[in-house]
A and B are shown apart, each in its own frame.
Chain A
Amino acid sequence: MPLIEVTELRKTYGKRVAVDGVSFTVERGEIFGILGTNGAGKTTTVECLQGLRRPDSGAISVLDLDPAKDIARLHQHIGVQLQDARLPEKLRVAEALELFAAFYPYPADIGALLRQLRLEDHRTTAFGKLSGGLRQRLSIALALVGNPEVAILDELTTGLDPHSRRDTWQLVTGVRDAGVTVVLVTHFMDEAERLCDRVAVFAAGRIVATGTPAELRATTGKSTLDDAFVTLTGRS
């Protein structure tokens, strides 16, 4: 039984078709990558998974729940990291974690989370004063504070320097090793290659390929996932 099952998902904004008949499954305990160029429908798809948007048609099941109907229950079990969502400028790191912990029935231990994400020295730093890397770490901590079964991470390392990116990758692997299923949205192929067990490649609202990074390299006959991606998404 897959943890997430998406069948023939379709979503339009006015005349523009954002997601056009997408199907995939995510198994418990894997890191599943959603890859694609900008505007390929990745973010819309995960927003439907999170219950932030209602699909026009198609079926979604996350942890046996329908995001469009059981949103309150679903949100107790998923942790989310959003592309460019900010926190109030004056909210401090520990306060943010304590606040979000109060939203969930079985929150994680905040002290442990601060240590795990190496945020202990920044407990009293206001969000507005955090560097990009620290913000990203806080945002991962907030995604985990509810002890989720699934973590959905959107454009996790955009804007980070190479060191912070590698640190963040380690964190994601750690999260999976702790038993959390991870859905990772990215347009960085090195990141997908390094982290993902399986990926789905999105282009123009459809999935053009699904499989392990190695399988995608093999089917396209390319030596890197980057080249395989370019071939699959139809630009050379």
Chain B
Amino acid sequence: MHTFTKLLATEAKLFLRTPMWAVFGILLPTAVLAGVGSIRGMREPSEVTGGYRFIDLWVPSLVVVALAMLGLQSIPAAVASYREQGVLRRLATTPVPPAFLLLAQLVLHAVVALAGVGLMLVTARVAFDVPLPRHPLTYVVTLLLGLVSVFALGLIAASIARTAKAAAAFAMIAFFPIMFVGGVYLPRPLLPEVIQRIGAYVPPGTQPLQDAWVGAGVQPLQFVTLAAFALGGTALAVRLFRWE
């Protein structure tokens, strides 16, 4: 336990000494929200979106931006650069288990992501009158599952790629579909039916996130699928991970 906490504390210090990803992860969702919210049309109810305002439907998708950026860009970059520099090889000659390093990265990025999402939710409520999630507990659990499921994809990319460049390329394979299905490029109600259905089950679970927010709560099957992605993905990453 002492080994893990020491590793986590050291990784946290290093993470904050190059604060780009921390600052990005915490501020970007709120910055995008402010940008979109400053356009008047986004703040007016529209018939296309069933009487909701664009911004109401967009906020859940902004959560996807935060998760995808940190999970699919920052995590693979961090682990892959350790691999390139030989840091992983050096660690491989010590008794520290490989999974510790992956878990430390997961925890660090999770803290940043939750801070970013939290700040964005508060801003959305205070500045743009977007209602907070209607089922807060369900929302938080779904968010955590969604977060781990996306981060696990990033860890898998980091585990199989040999260089930082390759890791970025692997992660991009997941990045764009997740952003698209998650309604980042186009609000989800405007996406084709089939894409919307896919979004109900794949990480980070945009549909359950939305249902916990405005709808009638999350369907059990969506919960289970998301949990399976989260657990299975993390286990696969730990299995695939090689020090070199």
On chain A, the number of residues with a Cβ less than 8 Å from chain B's Cβ atoms is 25
Chain B interface size range = 20 to 34
Give the residues from 79 to 135 in chain B that come closer than 8 angstroms, CB to CB, to chain A: 82, 85-87, 89-90, 92-97
Chain B residues with CB under 8 Å of A95's CB are: 10, 13
Q: Which of chain B's residues has its CB closest to A83's CB? A: B86
Chain A residues with CB under 8 Å of B93's CB are: 50-52, 75, 78, 80, 82
With the chains together, A84 CA to B244 CA distance in Å? 14
Chain B residues with CB under 8 Å of A75's CB are: 93-95
Whether, in the assembled complex, A112 has its beta carbon less than 8 Å from a beta carbon of chain B, the answer is no
Whether, in the assembled complex, B7 has its beta carbon less than 8 Å from a beta carbon of chain A, the answer is yes
Determine whether the beta carbon of B3 is less than 8 Å from that of A82.
Answer: no
Whether, in the assembled complex, B2 has its beta carbon less than 8 Å from a beta carbon of chain A, the answer is yes
Most chain-A CB neighbours within 10 Å: which of B92, B94, B244? B94
Determine whether the beta carbon of B94 is less than 8 Å from that of A87.
Answer: no
Whether, in the assembled complex, A169 has its beta carbon less than 8 Å from a beta carbon of chain B, the answer is no
Residue from the list B18, B90, B96, B243 in contact with A87, Cβ < 8 A:
B90
Chain A residues with CB under 8 Å of B243's CB are: 52
Determine whether the beta carbon of A85 is less than 8 Å from that of B7.
Answer: no
With the chains together, A63 CA to B90 CA distance in Å? 21
Determine whether the beta carbon of A103 is less than 8 Å from that of B14.
Answer: no
Chain B residues with CB under 8 Å of A72's CB are: 95, 97
Determine whether the beta carbon of A85 is less than 8 Å from that of B89.
Answer: yes
Chain A residues with CB under 8 Å of B18's CB are: 90
Determine whether the beta carbon of B95 is less than 8 Å from that of A99.
Answer: no
**Closest CB in chain B relative to A123 CB, distance in Å:** 15
With the chains together, A19 CA to B13 CA distance in Å? 42
Q: Which of chain A's residues has its CB closest to B96's CB? A: A103
17 A-B pairs with CB atoms under 8 Å apart are: A50-B93, A52-B93, A75-B93, A75-B94, A76-B95, A82-B90, A85-B87, A85-B89, A86-B86, A87-B85, A88-B82, A95-B13, A99-B7, A99-B10, A100-B94, A102-B6, A146-B94
Known: A75-B93, A85-B85. 20 other contacts (CB 8 A): A50-B93, A52-B243, A52-B244, A72-B97, A75-B94, A80-B93, A82-B93, A85-B87, A85-B89, A88-B87, A91-B10, A95-B10, A95-B13, A99-B7, A103-B3, A103-B94, A104-B94, A104-B95, A146-B94, A146-B95
